[in-house]
Amino acid sequence: MKRFFFELVSDANGRSDEMAVLSIIGVLTFIGLELFTVLVRHQQFEPERFGMGLGSAIAAGAIGMGLSSRFGG
């Protein structure tokens, strides 16, 4: 399991990729806040808004990783 997580956040050279780490943390935070809103604050779950927000977070991470690899950052 540890190797899986290491491969998830490292680039092809074995160095850690900060953009991947930030993307994973961002998506997990987004899901955690949605769970907090539904379970603790008893607000209604809105799948359309959740999907749009999660998709935006994933797209932002993918764009950041693409720009990082393109410009050598």
**Domain presence at residue 13:** no
Report yes or no: 45 and 38 within 8 Å, Cβ to Cβ: yes
> How large is the average pLDDT for residues 20-43?
89
| Rounded percentage of the chain residues whose pLDDT exceeds 90 | 15
The residue type at 70: R
State the residue for tokens 């961002």.
Answer: 26
Which pLDDT does position 19 carry in this prediction?
A: 78
Domains in the chain: how many in total?
Answer: 1
Q: Which residue has the higher pLDDT, 42 or 23?
A: 42
**Domain presence at residue 2:** no
What is the extent of the structural domain holding 67?
Answer: 23-73
What does R_g of the chain's alpha carbons equal in angstroms? 15
**Domain presence at residue 57:** yes
**Domain presence at residue 49:** yes
The helix-helix angle for 18-39 and 47-70 (nearest 10°) equals 170
pLDDT band per the 50, 70, 90 thresholds, residue 43? very high
Res 73 pLDDT > 70: no
pTM of the model: 0.71
**Domain presence at residue 36:** yes
Which pLDDT does position 41 carry in this prediction?
A: 93
